[in-house]
Amino acid sequence: TTSVEVTQAHLDRIAETDGKLNAFLHVDTEGALAQARKVDEDVAAGRTPASPLAGVPLALKDVLTQEGIPTTAGSKILEGWRPPYDATVTRKLKEAGIVILGKTNMDEFAMGSSTENSAYGPTANPWDLTRIPGGSGGGSSAALAAHQAPLAIGTDTGGSIRQPGAVTGTVGVKPTYGTVSRYGLIAFSSSLDQAGPCARTVLDAALLHEVIGGYDPMDSTSINAPLPPVVAATREGAQGDLSGVRVGVVTQFSGEGYQPGVLRSFEAAVSQLKELGAEIVEISCPSFDYALPAYYLIAPSEASSNLARFDAMRYGLRVGDDGNRSTEEVMSLTREAGFGPEVKRRIMIGTYALSAGYYDAYYGSAQKVRTLITREFEQAFTKVDVLVSPTTPTTAFKIGERTNDPVAMYKADLCTIPSNLAGNCGLSVPSGLSDEDGMPVGLQIMAPALQDHRMYRVAAAYE
């Protein structure tokens, strides 16, 4: 099969299904077929393909820039903006010969857990069109689950790769902070934002991980260290032997708010890991109970600063510029019209938390909690190799169910946020269907910074 055939099949699938799903904000038919033809020509001429994934189609979350292609981050304020440059992730995808099909829907500026905060309408979960596909990267996860694309890219600030992966029955990986470049990733919370691979199998995710990862001088927080050997670890894990691997079960991630069907699936997953030879240890991390409040101070604080750049002058939308209004008035009118309610809420919370007189009480306390969480991870990882939990407390909820209750929405990331605060890595692998509602459940596997290969090994054995 040629890459053109594979690409065309996926474009057809998108044309057939996306009216119902709304996973894509932009489909680049021409660009995708051109890239596919180039790969086919290379193969026909006997040239070695650029990577094992050359010619394979991919869906790119609309928060990463792609030169000349509309990039909105799910916001009206960026409508019509065509970035003049590729994100490092995008550049690496192109260099690997990967075919970028288009840009996927997401919660505005990656703020959300359901893709309902997109300015371009919600995405539906392919398993049940009345339910959410997770968020913020719901477009990418829905595209995978609906077979619109075999690979996708997401970004995970508090769970936006892993949580959509879990609720759509796909694999989502948040690599160690600093190991995939943030250059060209539209910033939400810079100390937490991390791009990563999404796929339907652990091996596909690992292959993609090695394409996009690595040191980048264009990102000041990029780690100058060799990328963890995730493909090799996946092949090792696929042998199905986990003897000698110590797996910690985080006791905080159960109880109130967790669906019984999710907990039963998790217990079955832990039994399976034990059968594969892993040693199971219970681990208590009391500070994880404060991860959610700490995150909802730190992330909005950084967002309030990062989003100041949308000032009606530099990008996209400009409202009320009739020649009589001041710069401040145009800026204010543009931000009023261009940002949705959740983004405004975060800007207000963040601005408040950072203001003089409140900084120590809010932002300062949150940073202290962040340190405690990091230490508890370090402590835990002296006793075990990986930690496991359900990825999300519940399966995919109904569209509209949590839109008027931001705190209920925030709770979707209860289990994923600690890894972001600590800068560690985390992965979600499908863990069957809930016996309550028949919807997919995810198993989260977490490892220390730069030990991404550990979680791939366990995930591949479990898969």
Tokens coding 353: 């938390």
* Residues 53/95, Cβ–Cβ less than 8 Å: no
The size of the interface with ligand GLN (CB under 6 A), counted in residues, is: 13
Q: Which is nearer to ligand GLN, 113 or 304 (CB)?
A: 113
Catalytic residue check, 20: no
Distance CA 103, CA 459 (A): 28
Residues 352-371 that bind ligand GLN (CB under 6 A): none
Choosing from 58, 242, 299, 439, the residue that interacts with ligand GLN (CB under 6 A) is 299
Distance CA 6, CA 114 (A): 30
Given the residues 38, 51, 61, 428, select the one marked as catalytic.
61
Q: Which is nearer to ligand GLN, 302 or 385 (CB)?
A: 302
Residue type, 75: S
CB of 442 to ligand GLN, least distance (A): 15
Question: Apex CA 448: angle with CA 60 and CA 219, to 5°?
Answer: 45
Choosing from 83, 134, 159, 430, the residue that interacts with ligand GLN (CB under 6 A) is 159
CB of 328 to ligand GLN, least distance (A): 29
CB of 197 to ligand GLN, least distance (A): 15
Given the residues 160, 181, 189, 428, select the one marked as catalytic.
160
Helix (H, G, I), strand (E, B) or coil at 455: helix
Catalytic residue check, 160: yes
Other CB atoms within 10 A of residue 199 CB: 23
Q: Which is nearer to ligand GLN, 421 or 461 (CB)?
A: 421
HSE of 254, CA atoms in CB hemisphere, 13 A: 17
Distance CA 311, CA 317 (A): 9
Q: What does the H/E/C string look like for 121-171?
A: CCCCECCECCECCCCCCHHHHHHHHCCCCCEEEEECCCCCCHHHHHHHCCE
Q: Does 51 bind ligand GLN (CB under 6 A)?
A: no
CB of 157 to ligand GLN, least distance (A): 4
Q: Does 158 bind ligand GLN (CB under 6 A)?
A: yes
CB of 202 to ligand GLN, least distance (A): 21
CB of 419 to ligand GLN, least distance (A): 11
Distance CA 206, CA 234 (A): 7
Distance CA 18, CA 152 (A): 16
CB of 336 to ligand GLN, least distance (A): 21
Which stretch in 39-47, 104-112, 143-151, 359-367 sits in contact with ligand GLN by CB under 6 A? 104-112
Helix (H, G, I), strand (E, B) or coil at 269: helix
Residue type, 222: S
Q: Does 413 bind ligand GLN (CB under 6 A)?
A: yes
Which stretch in 154-162, 241-249, 254-262, 378-386 sits in contact with ligand GLN by CB under 6 A? 154-162
Given the residues 113, 114, 118, 136, select the one marked as catalytic.
136
Phi, psi (degrees; rounded to nearest 5) at 194: -150, 120
Q: Does 172 bind ligand GLN (CB under 6 A)?
A: no
Sheet containing 99-104: which strands, arranged edge to edge?
Answer: 24-27, 99-104, 57-61, 151-155, 195-199, 171-174, 425-433, 440-447, 386-390, 246-250, 279-283
Q: Which is nearer to ligand GLN, 250 or 299 (CB)?
A: 299
Q: Which residues contact 300 (CB under 8 A, 6 or more apart)?
A: 189, 345, 346, 347, 349, 350, 353
Choosing from 113, 394, 444, 451, the residue that interacts with ligand GLN (CB under 6 A) is 113
Q: Does 428 bind ligand GLN (CB under 6 A)?
A: no
Choosing from 112, 213, 237, 316, the residue that interacts with ligand GLN (CB under 6 A) is 112
Q: Does 110 bind ligand GLN (CB under 6 A)?
A: yes
Which are the catalytic amino acids? Answer: 61, 136, 160
Would you tell me which residues interact with ligand GLN (CB under 6 A)?
110-113, 136, 156-160, 188, 299, 413
